[in-house]
Amino acid sequence: MKLAIIEGDGIGKEVIPAAVKVLDALRMDVEKIPVELGYGKWERTGSAITDQDIDILKSCDCILFGAVTTPPDPDYKSVLLTIRKELDMYANIRPIKPLPCVNGILGRNDFNFVIVRENTEGLYSGIEEIGEDASYTKRVVTRKGSQRIAEYACKLAKSRQNKLTIVHKSNVMKSDKLFLDVCRSTAAAHEVEYGDELVDSMAYKLMVSPEKYDVIVTTNLFGDILSDMSGALVGGLGLLPSANIGAGHAFFEPVHGSAPDIAGEDLANPIAAILSLKMLLEWHGNMTEAALIEEALESTLNRGIKTPDLGGSFTTEEVAESIVDHIRIK
Amino acid sequence: MKLAIIEGDGIGKEVIPAAVKVLDALRMDVEKIPVELGYGKWERTGSAITDQDIDILKSCDCILFGAVTTPPDPDYKSVLLTIRKELDMYANIRPIKPLPCVNGILGRNDFNFVIVRENTEGLYSGIEEIGEDASYTKRVVTRKGSQRIAEYACKLAKSRQNKLTIVHKSNVMKSDKLFLDVCRSTAAAHEVEYGDELVDSMAYKLMVSPEKYDVIVTTNLFGDILSDMSGALVGGLGLLPSANIGAGHAFFEPVHGSAPDIAGEDLANPIAAILSLKMLLEWHGNMTEAALIEEALESTLNRGIKTPDLGGSFTTEEVAESIVDHIRIK
Ligand SMILES: CC(C)[C@H](C(=O)O)[C@@H](O)C(=O)O
Ligand SMILES: CC(C)[C@H](C(=O)O)[C@@H](O)C(=O)O
């Protein structure tokens, strides 16, 4: 496996090295290609990401990414959005699953759902008219874009509880009718049980009865909002991994950002990055190694080895070391 | 006061009569103008709202509204959105405040914030291109629209804790920079303490630390999502009132919809409608009467008189009667 490794900025420089330690402990045959991107690179070179970087990323089997900080540059184009776009990674997958010995806001662990977010269009089209007195953004919903994300979500549902919830706002935006119709007919064709929810109502219901959902499919910005919000159910943004999948490309990243406020203090929770590595291994077919990470993480949490965001007093490194130790003795 | 009363459909026909009983018990000088709108009217006459209805609404001092059901008509235009637009009610105000003896998902009652939602533009522009293979919605942010909602939010903040949080997604949509800039400079001009949050991050933080917020100002659809979601903090959508305010017009409605599944069974929670009446009276300057409603509601809840959605076994009417009784003996 040829793996690009992007630490990025802020706590990216701590959680990715932690995840790489875990990867090393698994003694797999991996060629690691470090790639520098983000604010630091922008300060040093004037650009946060180059065409050459994109070519390197395209040449790798998959990518492990930390987080980047946005430079104070009005012309700055988001590194994350650039990569998603250039590699046409149309599916953003965010599993929302409780961890042992970690309490979310509900103090419950009877839920387990996945948000499948369309990752290339919607309000992320980049088509804007910016004026002094009025500014516009074009929200784009295409049949092709809706079709491929619906296919992805249905396949995922079939490997789980076979239940799909389509989230939209078609009572206000007629454009969402296209998304809804395509998702409905795709689900019917795949014999996946489906229903739909308005995004406002879904935000409420996810907080009140998260156990009712299996796979949720939605447009780009709705997926962005619902997934961060769902971090509260699990116990923090420091716990959520994600995958960005395209034809032939796969990119794994913690949902959290670069958190400049706590960067450099060895305080950041490495779990989201380590779970992103676990998703990467699953995607690549290394199921045994992925299961080993999960087991090691559970054992670490069961022993109370947690960073301060979870009420613990351990460092980023100590959490990673504990996971590594568990893997080594296996 | 000349008051238009719109029951609408579904549980609107139960919760509005309940609120009107409470109004009657206050023995105020109110001319009540019933207006029929919605699905029922559409079935009977072929249109859910007419120009004449709009004229009547415009001639009233304020409006109390229940809920409407959407008819299965592809050309249907939302009654609610039509009224908001025709009466140019640019501010949608949703107070999120715990009630005594009612538990929200966090089991806490140390928060009290208000969502001030821009109510005329954003993704509700109605400017769409609908095609077979692609559909577009134009998200509109204007300086004028941002200015007036920012002014409203700042005035509200000054009457409260003087704290404003501006919610946007300007890291992805440059159009939101206009909204953010206008809100920032308005807050500075009014000497309101302000900060800002990305909408995804805000959704997370509101669920984790709602006590940190006072007045939240945001664009139309973000306000829609965040306010429904916040219903979970208070203990249910059946509890949230709202106001739609324009120059010379004011419209009060529960945040919940017409709930056809429980309609006609005397089970609906009338609290959101009764609190909407309370907001109406406050807006109109009837502070004593508004306070009396609050006191009567608290006493009712303290005595465990609740509808099934709150774990009680009382009917819509019984809850309303209990509030009425409390008001009568005062
Ligand atoms: C950083 C930002 C551009 C990004 C997004 O909005 O997609 C982030 O919030 C995410 O969810 O990955
Ligand atoms: C019914 C719908 C058009 C409306 C909206 O989206 O504004 C509702 O959700 C609300 O919040 O009042």
Atom of ligand 2 lying closest to residue A171 CA: 3
pLDDT for res A4: 98
pLDDT for res B15: 98
| Cα(B61)–Cα(B119) distance, integer angstroms | 19
pLDDT for res A71: 86
pLDDT for res A74: 79
Indicate where chain A has its CATH 3.40.718.10 domain(s).
Answer: 1-89+235-330, 103-234
pLDDT for res B56: 98
> Among all residues of chain A, which has the CA nearest to that of B72?
A171
**Out of B136, B144, B229, whose CB is closest to A229?**
B229
Residues in B closer than 8 angstroms to A143, CB to CB, are: 132-134
Q: What average pLDDT score do residues A241-256 get?
A: 96
Q: Is the pLDDT of residue B7 over 90?
A: yes
CB contact under 8 A, A232 and B207: yes
Q: Is the pLDDT of residue A194 over 90?
A: yes
CB contact under 8 A, A232 and B128: no
Q: Which residues of B99-119 are buried (b: 16+ CB within 10 A; e: fewer)?
A: bebbebbbeebebebbbbbbb
Residues in A closer than 8 angstroms to B102, CB to CB, are: none
Return the ∠ at Cα B111 (arms to B109 and B115), rounded to 5°: 130
pLDDT for res B71: 86
Residues in B closer than 8 angstroms to A96, CB to CB, are: none
Atom of ligand 1 lying closest to residue A84 CA: 7
Q: What average pLDDT score do residues B163-180 get?
A: 96
A124 in Cβ contact with B174 (< 8 Å): no
CB contact under 8 A, A134 and B178: yes
Q: What is the DSSP letter of B317?
A: H
> Among all residues of chain B, which has the CA nearest to that of A105?
B106
**Out of A136, A142, A232, whose CB is closest to B134?**
A142
pLDDT for res B246: 96
- The string of pLDDT tens digits covering residues A30-74 is 999 999 999 999 999 999 999 999 999 999 999 999 999 988 887
Residue with tokens 């060895």: A266
Q: Is the pLDDT of residue A21 over 90?
A: yes
Q: Is the pLDDT of residue A246 over 90?
A: yes
Distance A224 CA to ligand 1 centre (A): 7
Ligand nearest to the CA of A70: 1
Q: Is the pLDDT of residue A76 over 90?
A: no
Mean pLDDT, chain A, rounded, equals 96
- For the record, the structure tokens of B16 come out as 């509005």
| Cα(B28)–Cα(B21) distance, integer angstroms | 12
Q: Is the pLDDT of residue A75 over 90?
A: no
Ligand nearest to the CA of A38: 1
- What is the largest distance, in Å, between two alpha-carbon atoms of chain B? 64
- For the record, the structure tokens of A10 come out as 């802020």
Q: Where are the beta strands (DSSP E) in chain B?
A: 2-8, 31-34, 62-67, 91-96, 113-118, 128-130, 134-142, 163-168, 193-198, 215-218, 241-246, 249-254
Q: Is the pLDDT of residue A301 over 90?
A: yes
Strand B31-34 versus strand B91-96 pairing type:
unpaired
Q: What percent of chain B has pLDDT over 90?
A: 95
Distance A276 CA to ligand 2 centre (A): 36
Q: What percent of chain B has pLDDT over 70?
A: 100
**Out of B207, B221, B224, whose CB is closest to A105?**
B207
3-state secondary structure of B117: strand
Q: What average pLDDT score do residues B274-293 get?
A: 97
Among A14-23, A73-82, A129-138, A159-168, whose mean pLDDT is lowest?
A: A73-82
- The confidence band for B327, taking pLDDT boundaries of 50, 70 and 90, is very high
Of A210, A208, A183, A206, residue with least CA distance to A194: A183
Q: At what angle do helices A12-25 and A316-329 cross, to 10 degrees?
A: 10
Q: What fold does the segment set A1-89+235-330 form as a domain?
A: Isopropylmalate Dehydrogenase (3.40.718)
Nearest residue CA, atom 11 of ligand 1? A224
Indicate where chain B has its CATH 3.40.718.10 domain(s).
Answer: 1-90+240-330, 103-234
pLDDT for res B158: 98
Q: What average pLDDT score do residues B288-310 get?
A: 97
- The confidence band for B215, taking pLDDT boundaries of 50, 70 and 90, is very high
**Out of A70, A231, A237, whose CB is closest to B171?**
A70
> Among all residues of chain A, which has the CA nearest to that of B130?
A175
- For the record, the structure tokens of A280 come out as 């990467």
- Classify domain B1-90+240-330 at the CATH superfamily level: Isopropylmalate Dehydrogenase (3.40.718.10)
Q: What fold does the segment set B103-234 form as a domain?
A: Isopropylmalate Dehydrogenase (3.40.718)
| Three-state SS sequence of B228-266 | HHHHHHHCCHHHCEEEEEECCEEEEEECCCCCCCCCCCC
- The string of pLDDT tens digits covering residues B73-88 is 877 889 999 999 999 9
Ligand nearest to the CA of A219: 1
Distance B224 CA to ligand 2 centre (A): 7
The torsion angle over the Cα atoms of residues B157, B161, B167 and B171, rounded to 10 degrees, is 120
